[in-house]
Amino acid sequence: MKKILILAILLIVIIAIAGCSQQPTGQAIDKLQKTGKTTSQPTQEESTTTHEPSCNPDWQCSEWSECSKSGTQTRKCVDKNDCETKVGKPTESQSCVYKPKTFNIGDILSNKEIEFIVHSIRKTYYISEYDEADEGKVYLIVDFSIKNIGDEDGYYFNPNNIEVEDENHYTYSYSWDSYNLDKYFDDTTVELGRTKRGEIAFEVPKISNKFIFILKSGFLYEREIALVDLGAVPNPPEIKSATLTIDTVDYFWYDYGMIIDGKTGLGSISSIDVFIENTGTMAITPKYDVLITHGGGTVFSKSSVDGFLIYSGIQPNKKESDTISLLMVSIDSPGAYTVKVDLKNKGEDVIIASSTKDIIIG
């Protein structure tokens, strides 16, 4: 019995010693806490699972567009890694202050497609014998050119692409009277490497003096691509001047060969042919004052007599002939007659030019 008791005590002591040998010492515990390492073995799940790296977007953006008149500019941003996320995507729109770049006459304005130049400007009250500016208005004529430097399909120009803006910010489209300009810039396609030059007219108020020329682009011509400061453009002086020459006087005389009722014959003056050269800056719609005298007395006097030019007028720097119809002015005796014609503009009393011609009747 005593042996059994001793063996039991020894067994308990051995078990206690074995249990203590499996626990870490105090120094070992401190070391584990400092290094963060443990002696535990990974589980089967931990040892077989791998983690894929996350997708990192690589955003690349285009340059900002020019500031639009609405005060906005845009750009396009694309993720080169195609992560299918918008995380970290830069903004593609921002507000801006619209300050269009303005050029001067003679400057070359260029983009990827064209080179554009305004060569000169002028004002006039007429374009042709059929085209005169309305009352209170004047034609502003712009001479410009377009060179195609990059459009392989040909750069298409339409007069609707352009307009002018005055100092009061009113805009004016081209006038259809432009068609009668000698160098009219019609709608056309400018081939690659070619240059097209011509003129366009705008009918603007005479009170407007400063202008900006605007070239537009786009399907509805909504995008301004060129602004040219035309500066102050003075109106041409309003001068009505002309030369007038009586060419022929058409008359008839029949001699009785005897004295009848104290008269030796009967005659008449039916018309006067004249030449007019307009040397002023304004068109003239002719009206005539006619005076015919004989022997110190007045045979015929009438104001505001029409000629054929009453229907068309005569433009500056033009020469025209006209016929003044008198509807048979009766002549009672032969002899020397003086015919005088004064030229006036329709509706005005100022004499522009005069001419006198002596004729012998009978």
Asked if residue 248 and residue 224 are part of one domain, the reply reads: no
Structure tokens at 102: 């303005």
Last residue of a domain, one of 232, 251, 277: 232
The pLDDT assigned to 15 comes to 56
Residue 250 in domain? yes
Predicted confidence (pLDDT) at residue 250 exceeds the cutoff of 90 = yes
Tell me: pLDDT of 146 over 70.
yes
More confident residue, 8 or 199: 199
The last residue of one of the domains, among 232, 253, 274, is: 232
CB hemisphere CA count around 191 (13 angstroms):
1
Specify the pTM.
0.58
The answer to whether 200 touches 162, Cβ cutoff 8 Å, is yes
CATH at residue 300: 2.60.40.10
* Residue 255 forms part of a structural domain: yes
Q: In Å, how far from its chain's centre is CA 29?
A: 88
Distance separating alpha carbons of residues 272 and 247, to the nearest angstrom: 8
> Looking at residue 33, what is its pLDDT?
46
DSSP class of 236: P
Q: Is residue 117 part of a domain?
A: yes
Q: Are residues 210 and 246 in the same domain?
A: no
Domain housing 134: 104-232
Backbone angles phi, psi at 145, to 5 degrees: -140, 155
* Residue 73 belongs to a domain: no
Better pLDDT: 352 or 35 = 352
> Mean pLDDT across the stretch 159-167?
91
Cα angle: 247, vertex 251, 255; to 5 degrees: 145
First to last CA, the chain: 192
Lowest mean pLDDT among 23-27, 75-79, 193-197: 23-27
pLDDT at residue 310 is higher than 60: yes
Cβ-count burial 276-303 (b if 16+ within 10 Å, e if not): bbbbbbbbbbbbbbbbbebeeeebbeee
CA distance 181 to 199: 7
If you average pLDDT over residues 178-207, what whole number do you get?
A: 94
Average pLDDT over the chain reads 83
* Averaged pLDDT, 283-301: 93
Q: Does residue 322 sit in the same domain as residue 247? A: yes
Of 18-22, 87-91, 240-244, the least confident? 18-22
**Residue 43, in any domain of the structure:** no
Residue among 293, 292, 309 at smallest CA distance from 352: 309
> Is residue 29 included in any domain, yes or no?
no
Please, which residues have CB within 8 angstroms of residue 232's CB and are 6 or more apart in sequence?
209, 210
The pLDDT score that the predictor gives to residue 25 is: 46
The answer to whether 204 and 164 have CB atoms below 8 angstroms apart is yes
CATH code of the domain covering residue 171: 2.60.40.1240
Report yes or no: 341 and 244 within 8 Å, Cβ to Cβ: yes
Ranges 22-31, 123-132, 268-277: which has the least confidence: 22-31
DSSP summary character for residue 87: T
- Dihedral over alpha carbons 211, 125, 123, 320 (to 10 degrees): 160
Percent of the chain with pLDDT over 90: 50
Q: What is the pLDDT of residue 267?
A: 87
Residue 19, pLDDT score: 53
Reply yes or no on whether the pLDDT at 198 is more than 50.
Answer: yes
What DSSP character marks residue 17?
H
- In this prediction, residue 49 carries a pLDDT of 47
Q: What is the pLDDT of residue 184?
A: 94
pLDDT tens string 276-285: 999 998 889 9
Report the range of poorest mean pLDDT among 177-186, 206-215, 218-227, 334-343: 218-227
CA nearest neighbour of 290 among 311, 276, 270, 304: 304
Task: Summarize pLDDT for 9-21 with one digit per residue, the tens.
Answer: 655 655 555 554 4
Does residue 83 contact residue 57 with C-beta atoms inside 8 Å?
yes
SS3 170: coil
Domain count, the chain: 2
- The verdict on 183 and 292 lying in the same domain is no
Kind of pairing between the strands at 223-232 and 102-104: parallel
* Span 26-50, pLDDT tens digits: 444 444 444 444 444 544 444 444 4
User: Which residues fall within 8 angstroms of residue 175, CB to CB, at 6 or more apart?
Assistant: 139, 201, 202, 203
Of 174, 114, 187, give the one whose Cα is nearest residue 142.
174
Q: Mark which of 173, 208, 232 sits at the end of a domain.
A: 232
